[in-house]
Chain A
Amino acid sequence: MAENRVVVTGLGVVAPNGVGLPAFTTALREGQSGIAFHQHLADANFGCQVGGIPPGIDELQRRYLTDEELFAMNPNMVYAAIAGIDAWTDAGLARPPREADEVDWDTGAIIGTGIGGIDTVAEKLAPKVDAGKVGRLGSTMVEQIMSSGNTARLAGLLGLGNQVSTNSSACSTGTEAIIDSFLRIREGRAVRMLAGGSEGPSKYTWAGFDAMKVLNRTRNATPTEASRPMSASAAGFVPGAGAGVLMLESLASAERRGARIYAEVLGAHINCGGHRMGGSMTAPTPTGVRRCIRGAVEMAGIRPDEIDAINGHLTATFADPHEVASWSAALELPPARMPLLHSTKSLIGHTLGAAGGIECVTSVLELHHRFVHGSLNCEDLHPALADYAPRIPHRTVELPGLRVIAKASFGFGDVNSAIVFRRFDA
């Protein structure tokens, strides 16, 4: 049986610099940063007191969720629900009534999270248990702290009946979810999948990274300058939160119902460097990264020089120059012939488990609108990237001929994921 072609028919995004497609697209085009100073981080003696937190959720969430639903949801779950419902409706599907007794057996969801409901554990569960008040925890602890809480809730909101699961592979999570969903549709086990990542904005999530000294603590007074991927003055990443969800669908289904098709998923690859050959729990094995990129391009069936732009992992740690070198080596392209390189994290920070989801939404929006957004705060490009300077735009570039974007994510555990999108009408 022929494998199904898989396309993107819907998008949903909850990002620090824009919630919803119109606001997020404008923010990308105009280079708007979503990074701000947060007093609660200063109060807790964080070295890094800036972060990316999606705005306006308290008001917005009531348009999507009932009081009873919100009673049992933490921000990670709320972000996934808003982005998931938006991707569903953006795909031209009507949100089913809650009382409707129908299940959509052909549609599932894999929306990952890196850390999940740690805020619920820290703020509610642990204090009550330690105080001997287990009986006053109420009924909602499990559904908020189980790793699959985000997709479990979304399944109920939309009546999903195919695979509903939450993957976790640190900062590779969101892209991995999209790849797993792509492969599921490709082999005919689902017709549609909501796919991406979500992460809440908890200080308890961010504290461990702050303690590792991997967050930027040098720009608290100038938050929009704090996220500096590819910069000579990069000094660690800026933590962020949000969700990005794609509706992936078989091409046959999309064409049958006349859906708008944003892009096609051409190929993808997932691997792990095994913590060998220079890799570790916290650093990627270059060989693993390169094999992952090559695997995605080979599956896509394109030549490396057909890739117009790369949406990198590019977090603003010491690893950025190594990542760019790996892209160049994997694609066997010299700096001058490399695709345009850009980092969405320069605008929104590193949203951890949500990053791959939000950055794949970015890539698909860029293909749809034919632009590549600029990377902020790298005018002082890292010296190791000097040869790539002409390929690193600082402001949005309109590209009428934009056809192919490659996206990769890498995570603690030496895990990698890479995916290639192409405009469908190309």
Chain B
Amino acid sequence: MSDQQIFTEIVAILTPFVKANADAITLESSILKDLQVNSARLVDIVIEIEDKFGIEVKDDDADTIRTVGDAVALVKAKQAAA
């Protein structure tokens, strides 16, 4: 799966939770600050990422995600390690 495909899928997962800048999501977008996602919903987003990409995301890994790009990189690394 290409970086662009991963990005597109993650944006689709994030979209229902995004409260700001929905039309301008980039790899650099901060999920909490720029997109105003409720921090409580990050666990739901991680579960959806696990299901979509068939990976397991440990709590420590999830804690490293700040931007959309962080999520893309994490998925890519997990898929490469699989």
Q: Which residues of A contact B (CB under 8 A)?
A: 66-68, 71, 98-99, 136, 138-140
Q: Establish whether residues A138 and B43, one from each chain, have CB atoms under 8 Å apart when the complex forms.
A: yes
Which residues of A sit under 8 angstroms from B19, Cβ to Cβ? 68, 98-99
Q: Which of A68, A98, A99, A136 contacts B17 (CB 8 A)?
A: A68
Q: Which residue of B lies closest to A71 (CB)?
A: B16
Q: List 5 A-B contacts (CB under 8 A).
A: A68-B16, A68-B38, A138-B43, A138-B44, A138-B47
Q: Which residue of B lies closest to A98 (CB)?
A: B19
Which residues of B sit under 8 angstroms from A139, Cβ to Cβ? 40-44
Closest Cβ–Cβ distance, residue B16 to chain A (whole Å): 4
Which residues of A sit under 8 angstroms from B44, Cβ to Cβ? 71, 138-140
Q: Which residues of B contact A (CB under 8 A)?
A: 16-17, 19, 38, 40-44, 47
Q: Whole-angstrom distance between the alpha carbons of A67 and B15 in the complex?
A: 9
Closest Cβ–Cβ distance, residue A139 to chain B (whole Å): 5
Instruction: Known pairs A68-B16, A71-B44; list 10 more (Cβ under 8 Å).
Output: A68-B17, A68-B19, A68-B38, A71-B16, A98-B19, A136-B47, A138-B44, A138-B47, A139-B40, A139-B42
Q: Whole-angstrom distance between the alpha carbons of A66 and B41 in the complex?
A: 14
| Residue among A66, A67, A68, A136 with max Cβ neighbours from chain B (10 Å) | A68
Q: Which residue of A lies closest to B50 (CB)?
A: A136
Q: Whole-angstrom distance between the alpha carbons of A139 and B62 in the complex?
A: 14
Q: Which residue of A lies closest to B42 (CB)?
A: A139
Which residues of A sit under 8 angstroms from B41, Cβ to Cβ? 68, 139
Q: Whole-angstrom distance between the alpha carbons of A138 and B16 in the complex?
A: 15
Closest Cβ–Cβ distance, residue A238 to chain B (whole Å): 36
Which residues of B sit under 8 angstroms from A67, Cβ to Cβ? 16
Q: Whole-angstrom distance between the alpha carbons of A139 and B16 in the complex?
A: 15
Which residues of A sit under 8 angstroms from B17, Cβ to Cβ? 68
Closest Cβ–Cβ distance, residue B39 to chain A (whole Å): 9
Closest Cβ–Cβ distance, residue A130 to chain B (whole Å): 18
Q: Which residue of A lies closest to B59 (CB)?
A: A135
Which residues of A sit under 8 angstroms from B38, Cβ to Cβ? 68
Closest Cβ–Cβ distance, residue B48 to chain A (whole Å): 9
Q: Whole-angstrom distance between the alpha carbons of A138 and B47 in the complex?
A: 7
Which residues of B sit under 8 angstroms from A136, Cβ to Cβ? 47
Q: Which residue of A lies closest to B17 (CB)?
A: A68
Which residues of B sit under 8 angstroms from A138, Cβ to Cβ? 43-44, 47
Closest Cβ–Cβ distance, residue B22 to chain A (whole Å): 12
Closest Cβ–Cβ distance, residue B38 to chain A (whole Å): 8
Q: Whole-angstrom distance between the alpha carbons of A140 and B44 in the complex?
A: 8
Q: Which residue of A lies closest to B40 (CB)?
A: A139
Which residues of B sit under 8 angstroms from A140, Cβ to Cβ? 44
Q: Whole-angstrom distance between the alpha carbons of A139 and B41 in the complex?
A: 6
Q: Whole-angstrom distance between the alpha carbons of A139 and B17 in the complex?
A: 13
Q: Whole-angstrom distance between the alpha carbons of A171 and B34 in the complex?
A: 46
Q: Which residue of A lies closest to B44 (CB)?
A: A138
Q: Which residue of B lies closest to A66 (CB)?
A: B16
Closest Cβ–Cβ distance, residue A91 to chain B (whole Å): 27
Closest Cβ–Cβ distance, residue B8 to chain A (whole Å): 18
Closest Cβ–Cβ distance, residue B77 to chain A (whole Å): 20
Q: Whole-angstrom distance between the alpha carbons of A98 and B17 in the complex?
A: 14
| Residue among A99, A136, A138 with max Cβ neighbours from chain B (10 Å) | A138
Q: Which residue of B lies closest to A143 (CB)?
A: B40
Q: Which residue of A lies closest to B39 (CB)?
A: A139
Which residues of A sit under 8 angstroms from B40, Cβ to Cβ? 139
Closest Cβ–Cβ distance, residue B37 to chain A (whole Å): 9
Q: Whole-angstrom distance between the alpha carbons of A68 and B37 in the complex?
A: 10
Which residues of A sit under 8 angstroms from B16, Cβ to Cβ? 66-68, 71
Which residues of A sit under 8 angstroms from B43, Cβ to Cβ? 138-139
Closest Cβ–Cβ distance, residue B21 to chain A (whole Å): 13
Q: Which residue of B lies closest to A136 (CB)?
A: B47
Q: Whole-angstrom distance between the alpha carbons of A109 and B69 in the complex?
A: 42
Q: Whole-angstrom distance between the alpha carbons of A99 and B38 in the complex?
A: 13
Q: Which residue of B lies closest to A138 (CB)?
A: B44
Q: Whole-angstrom distance between the alpha carbons of A139 and B42 in the complex?
A: 8
Closest Cβ–Cβ distance, residue B1 to chain A (whole Å): 23
Which residues of B sit under 8 angstroms from A66, Cβ to Cβ? 16
| Cβ-closest 5 pairs across A and B | A67-B16, A138-B44, A139-B40, A139-B43, A68-B16
Which residues of B sit under 8 angstroms from A71, Cβ to Cβ? 16, 44
Closest Cβ–Cβ distance, residue B32 to chain A (whole Å): 14
